Amino acid sequence: MGPRHSVETFAKMTGDSPFGSGIGVRPTTPADTAEICDLLEHGFVGSGIAADGWRPLCTTNWLPDYPRGFVLTDGGRIVGHVGTIYVQREINGKTGIVCNHSGFYVALAYRGRGLGATLSAAAAGDERITYTSLTPAPVTQRVLDAAGWATLDRHMLLFPPGLNAETLWRSRVDIDVNDRTVRASLGQAERRIYDDHVPYDCLHMTARDADGTAYLVVKVRRSLRRVRSAGIPVSQILYCSATDVLARNLERIKLAIMRQQKTFGIAMNERLFPKAPRAIRRKDIAQYRSAVFTPNELDLLYSEFVLLDL
């Protein structure tokens, strides 16, 4: 089992007024939800996410003893935020807590004073926890670089229809997208993944060929809809248990996903393929810090990609 912290423990670790003049950092509480959502709606106006769209960051129940985020306050008013999405994972025989950071924002009047770095550090204060930042803005990247975070990804792989047509000729794969039979076919660990992600409009599917079975969790990613300014919806693969099965049957699996989600291609992290199939490479920086898991072991489950309309 990983370390356990209550919200009160985090509050003792961070305090609430280290800067003087009424400015402090503390864990979030449920009473902060409306104010946080309003802050993020205005702070990320270009995202198109309304205030209610940020609410899942504050309400997920995946690891309830941990805070949903940390806030920068000035006289009790929230002027900065970073969401923290905690979950305990078992990957390749290793167990550890993973925390995805999302919604990192500091109001303009409070920038340039090191407060963003202090807020980020408060949200990543336990060396035993694996931390990820999957969509860091350039300023966030600099903050995390300075704090010793490493690069998790440099590119996203995009697979439009037809690009991998050569796999059609050797593909003999059975694809199942029926919720009942997919869940029934999973082992205990993957059934937990299924149950935890069912509320969040994800596609669950299995692909079985003569040499193995892959379980995939997929969601439409809105921020990739403007591929070359064409307004194209793309399906993001959040998890694939067997990338070799995916690579062998890529075009058929791609077509099945596109048909189910009404998209025009799929996207996946470059790091998850030992040898990447032919794809369009798109710059897409992600960062992490971990003493437990390696980059190829970290997927997009239990992250902002699940909770938010990105």
* pLDDT (average), residues 293-308: 97
The answer to whether the CB of 61 falls within 8 A of the CB of 158 is: no
* pLDDT (average), residues 3-30: 64
Q: How far apart are CA 240 and CA 242, in angstroms?
A: 6
Residue at token pair 């926890």 = 129
Is 0.75 surpassed by the pTM of this model? yes
More confident residue, 11 or 278: 278
Strand partners, 112: none
Q: How far apart are CA 66 and CA 10, in angstroms?
A: 8
Predicted local distance difference test score (pLDDT) of residue 17: 43
Could you report the per-residue pLDDT of 223-267, keeping only the tens digit for each?
A: 654 444 456 789 999 999 999 999 999 999 999 999 999 999 999
Predicted local distance difference test score (pLDDT) of residue 196: 97
Predicted local distance difference test score (pLDDT) of residue 227: 47
Q: How far apart are CA 45 and CA 282, in angstroms?
A: 24
Q: How far apart are CA 209 and CA 258, in angstroms?
A: 20
Could you report the per-residue pLDDT of 127-163, keeping only the tens digit for each?
A: 999 999 999 999 999 999 999 999 999 999 999 999 9
Could you report the per-residue pLDDT of 169-227, keeping only the tens digit for each?
A: 988 999 999 999 999 999 999 999 999 999 999 999 999 999 999 999 999 987 654 44
Mean pLDDT over each residue of the chain, to the nearest integer: 91
Predicted local distance difference test score (pLDDT) of residue 224: 56
Whose CA is closest to 281, among 227, 239, 232, 238? Answer: 227
Could you report the per-residue pLDDT of 62-108, keeping only the tens digit for each?
A: 999 999 999 999 998 999 999 999 999 999 999 999 999 999 999 99
Q: How far apart are CA 209 and CA 150, in angstroms?
A: 36
Could you report the per-residue pLDDT of 37-53, keeping only the tens digit for each?
A: 999 999 999 888 999 99
The answer to whether the CB of 213 falls within 8 A of the CB of 230 is: no
In this predicted structure, the answer to whether residue 1 has a pLDDT above a threshold of 50 is no
Predicted local distance difference test score (pLDDT) of residue 226: 44
Q: How far apart are CA 137 and CA 152, in angstroms?
A: 14
Confidence band for 274, pLDDT divided at 50, 70 and 90: confident
Could you report the per-residue pLDDT of 210-220, keeping only the tens digit for each?
A: 999 999 999 99
Q: Which two tokens stand for residue 27?
A: 């864990």
In this predicted structure, the answer to whether residue 10 has a pLDDT above a threshold of 60 is no
Q: Which two tokens stand for residue 295?
A: 């980059």
